[in-house]
Amino acid sequence: MRNAALTLGVIAGIIGLIVGFFGYGYTVFIDWFGEVEDVAEQVDNPGLIRAVSLLSPILAIAGGAMARSQNVAAGGLMLLSAAGMYWAFSFNVFTMFPIAMCGLGGLLALLARQPDAT
C-alpha cells in the first residue's frame, strides 16, 4: 500500500504542477495585460490561486516521497494537497486526476499498517 501511495502522490504532484503552472500563469497574465471583458477576467482571489498553485504540488510530491518511511505524515500531506487543489481550483476536467490520485494516495498511506514486502 505504501508503494501505491508513493506512486500516486508523485504522479498527482506532477500533474498538479502542470495545473498549478497554468493557474499561476493565468493570474499573472491577466495582471500584466489586463482583462478582456467576457473572455479573460481575473479570478476572485488571485493570491489563493498562486499560493495553492505552488504549495499543493509540492505537498503531493513530498507526501509521495515520504510514503514508504513516514506513512501517517505522508497521508496527511497528500490529503492536504488534494483539499487545497479542490478549494482553489474546484473539481473539473483538469483537476479530477490530481485530486483523486492525491486523495487515494493519502488514504492508502494512512491505512498502511505494516511496511510493504520487498
- Quote the distance between the C-alpha of residue 50 and its chain's center: 13
Tell me the domain boundaries of the chain. Answer: 2-34+44-111
- Where helices occur in the chain by DSSP H, the ranges are 2-33, 46-66, 71-89, 96-111
What does each C-alpha distance from 58 to 2, 14, 30, 55, 118 come to in angstroms?
A: 19, 9, 25, 5, 27
Q: Tens-of-pLDDT digits for all 118 residues of the chain?
A: 899 999 999 999 999 999 999 999 999 999 998 898 888 999 999 999 999 999 999 999 999 999 999 999 999 999 999 999 999 999 999 999 999 999 999 999 999 977 666 5
The predicted pLDDT at position 114 comes to 74
The predicted pLDDT at position 118 comes to 57
Please give the grid coordinates belonging to residue 42. Answer: 481575473
The predicted pLDDT at position 113 comes to 79
The predicted pLDDT at position 39 comes to 86
